[in-house]
Structure 1
Amino acid sequence: MSSFINNIIYNFFISFGVILGASLMAGLGAIINGHPPLKTMFTIAGSIKIWAIAVALGGTFSSFEIIEKGIFKGEIKSIIRQAVHVVIAVVGANVGYGFIRLIQKCGESIFG
């Protein structure tokens, strides 16, 4: 596989994993603190989506540098590649959010 495809796969799973991991750990913290874990997990998942995207992209500055290079040096291919990376990271974060939302809905139907 090409490195571009490999990086896209990494971006998806990194942003997905950030949402999933942070939400699950927040749920554990909520249990310890005596708060509702499902509500806490859902709240955290929604509030950290942008951070999951930034983590998947390896920080925001490199993305802006690539976009700047594409705009000012006419490297359209690099802009398209970076846009694909951003879109895949957003998709990964949203799939993670949807997964946490599914857990919440299943928990509500079982417990509530």
Structure 2
Amino acid sequence: MGGFLSRCLLDFFVAFGVVLGGTMLAGICAVLTLEPPIYRMTSVAEQIKIWAMVAAIGGTIDPIRAIETHFIEGHVSPAIKQILYIVCAFAGAHMGSTIIQWICKGGNNP
């Protein structure tokens, strides 16, 4: 169980970090190009979520193929674990995007 929980946390934080890091770098780029960083950061935060999930789970085809193979062979437990890894990666990417949205909206409100 420790390995499963460890992998879930790793997927969560990798996706979270990809969203935060990519968005912060996009904000720096916006400042350097004299654009408003709030708009650039919020758009990048939404656009990068799927790629953060892909980076966290290690690819798009292999996890889906693993789910299919396990279901066809009748091994439900490994397939459910793979689905939970994807859910954890989604949760991390979504939380990173939500934090960026909060930060950017906080800059607009006095």
TM-score (norm 1): 0.93
Is residue 65 of structure 1 aligned with residue 65 of structure 2? Answer: yes
- CA distance in 2 between partners of 1:47 and 1:53 (Å): 11
- CA distance in 2 between partners of 1:10 and 1:93 (Å): 12
| Residues 20-58 of structure 1: CA deviation (Å, up to 9, x unaligned) | 000000000000001010110000000111111111101
Aligned counterpart, 1:74: 74
Unpaired runs of at least 5, structure 2: none
Instruction: Work out the number of aligned pairs and report it.
Output: 110
Is residue 8 of structure 1 aligned with residue 8 of structure 2? Answer: yes
How does 1:1-112 map onto structure 2 within 5 Å? 2-110=2-110
> Among the aligned pairs, what percent are the same residue?
35
Query: Over the residues paired in the alignment, what is the CA RMSD in angstroms?
Result: 1.1
- CA distance in 2 between partners of 1:40 and 1:2 (Å): 39
- CA distance in 1 between partners of 2:87 and 2:94 (Å): 10
- CA distance in 1 between partners of 2:103 and 2:78 (Å): 38
Kindly state the Cα deviation for residue 73 of structure 1 after the two structures are TM-superposed: 1.0
TM-score (norm 2): 0.95
